[in-house]
Amino acid sequence: MHQSVMFDVVQLAVYWQVWFDDPHSLRLKYQVAVDNGLRGVGFWNLDCLDYHSENPLVMQQTGSMWDAVRDAMQSYAAAVDSTAST
């Protein structure tokens, strides 16, 4: 079961799907990495986030994406620390 956001587009008899991540789907993916002891995650396009907007909602959304990364790395560090001490 996927958790990424997606939608279908049909235009001029052409069909395609658009998939993207949000903070929720990223947290789930990062947790899979932590749970499986993976040593990192990769990013495709970090420049797709809007770093220059002064719109409070956009600023919050961009921050939430990075919060998901920070939280995952903290979870990973905690998991590594707990296995190292056993």
Q: What is the tens place of the pLDDT at every residue in 10-63?
A: 999 999 898 888 888 888 888 888 888 887 788 777 777 888 999 999 999 889
Domain boundaries, the chain: 22-84
Residue scoring higher pLDDT (86 or 16): 16
Q: Which two tokens stand for residue 74?
A: 């903290």
Residue with tokens 């040593």: 39
Q: Which two tokens stand for residue 2?
A: 């996927």
Give the long-range contacts of residues 56-64, CB within 8 A, separation 24 or more: 61/23, 64/23
